[in-house]
Amino acid sequence: MAYTEDRSQWYEGQGLWQHVPQAQWQDWIWQLKNRITTKEHLEQYMTLTAEEEAGIAHAGQKLSLAITPYFFNLMDRENPNCPIRLQMIPREAETKISAGEMLDSLGEDEHSPVPGIVHRYPDRVLFLVTDRCAAYCRYCTRSRLVSNAQDYNFHPEYEQGLRYIESHPEVRDVLLSGGDPLLLSDRKLEHILARLREIPHVEFIRIGSRIPVFLPQRITPELCEIFKRHGPIWMSIHVNHPSEATAELKAACDRLSFAGVPLGNQSVLLAGVNDDADTMKALVHRLLRMRVRPYYLYQMDLITGGSHFKVDVRRGLEIIKALRGHTTGYAIPQYVIDAPGGGGKVPINPDFVEEITDEEIVFRNYEGNVYRYPLTAEVQIQTASDPAYGVIDAG
Ligand SMILES: *Cc1c(COP(=O)(O)O)cnc(C)c1O
Ligand code: SF4
């Protein structure tokens, strides 16, 4: 096993499912069939809090409850504040709707020219190919349609979506999402990828998936062959907490990387899960060790019943500030807010710039020290002796 230096945190094993033959444990269909989906099932393994019981009673009308045995094992069942538990087990707070919250907070339905396609940016589309996931995140942005608990009745129309992309030459980038595209069978996924590859103007294909995290068993050699055949296929995985970065996830990322799939990570900033700098640093370092480049850190979308996960943006900025300069540049995700109503993703950055004038820009480094950079040739010559500018060759 890799990463013996912090072995205790790199979970590997069958935990509560020791009695299950290893071949079954490693079979993704077995994992899906044996998901924990009811209160009674949960209670076989843990004691629920009153808040959780109330949340579970409501989940059927909001977003289904489902946890793969593999992912369930990562939970600390003694700790109601376990970050895995907070993400997976519904709580009463989900029933409370706060000001500004919306069912479709990103206005995706308004930007959908045909079912399953969201065309918000000029050159790229989001292609929703399923409404199912291996497990359900309580903060899911698309909980209006994902798992179909709200009778949204999303029917992925691949043909209509593919025809839309074919007839729009401006679409050079297609992002497959859902739900989770890797829940589709190999055959369906290969069909979609092959069709997209035939479209001359589609030059970039990527998949957003949390399956490597919930169900690493799904990343089979056969699936990797499909990515190789139709590559390059890029993938954004979705890891929020370092305890999700297991030896199994590492192995799945290895298989994807060796099949030529560049990997990025998207995290959602979640209260009690990853809203402190130490946790975030541990997470991004583990991701780099798995060849995964942190891509986005999302401010929580304003979804209904999500306020208990919301983190103050100033805290998010502090976290980014604690990373910049203090660790590898590759490790730092771009913090974004997906503009409510559908404005797209907007970067939110800590301010390092103090002042910009016609003569100079004044800025601070990660230690808080002030530096100046001259903006005109004139200033360069006049200030060549000023040590604040460093050594400048005026000749
Ligand atoms: C996030 C998103 C994309 C992809 O955005 P990038 O910044 O290119 O990763 C495309 N379309 C929609 C509707 C999205 O929400
Ligand atoms: S995996 Fe993604 S789409 Fe599925 S429930 Fe979680 S956040 Fe939503």
Query: 94-98, 236-240, 327-331, 332-336: which range is least confident on average?
Result: 94-98
Furthest C-alpha separation in the chain: 79
pTM higher than 0.85, yes or no? Answer: yes
Cis peptide before 179 (omega within 30 of 0): yes
The full set of domains in the chain, from first to last, is 15-90 (no CATH), 109-347 (3.20.20.70), 352-395 (no CATH)
Residue 83 Cβ < 6 Å to ligand 2? no
The pLDDT of residue 237 is above 50? yes
Helices 247-258, 221-230: inter-axial angle, 10-degree rounding: 30
Q: φ and ψ at 205, to 5 degrees?
A: -125, 130
What is the Cα–Cα distance from 45 to 34, expressed in whole angstroms?
14
First CA to last CA across the chain, in angstroms?
58
The pLDDT assigned to 388 comes to 54
Alpha-carbon distances of 347 from 141, 334, 362, rounded to whole Å? 18, 7, 22
> Residue 183 corresponds to which tokens in the numbers above?
């829940």
Does the pLDDT value for residue 395 go beyond 90? Answer: no
**Best residue for ligand 1 mutational test, from 106, 111, 112, 121 (most atoms within 8 Å of Cβ):** 121
What is the phi/psi pair of residue 102, to 5°? Answer: -135, 155
> Would the pLDDT of 2 be above 50?
no
List pLDDT tens digits, range 166-176. 999 999 999 99
The span from the CA of 282 to the CA of 267, in Å, is 13
- Residue 139 Cα: closest atom of ligand 2: 7
The interaxial angle of helices 158-166 and 186-197, nearest 10 deg, is: 20
pLDDT band at 382 (very low <50, low <70, confident <90, very high): low
Q: Is 120 a catalytic residue?
A: yes
- Is residue 179 in contact with ligand 2, taking CB distance under 6 Å? yes
The answer to whether the CB of 175 falls within 8 A of the CB of 126 is: yes
Whether residue 126 has pLDDT greater than 70: yes
Cβ–Cβ < 8 Å for 280, 319: yes
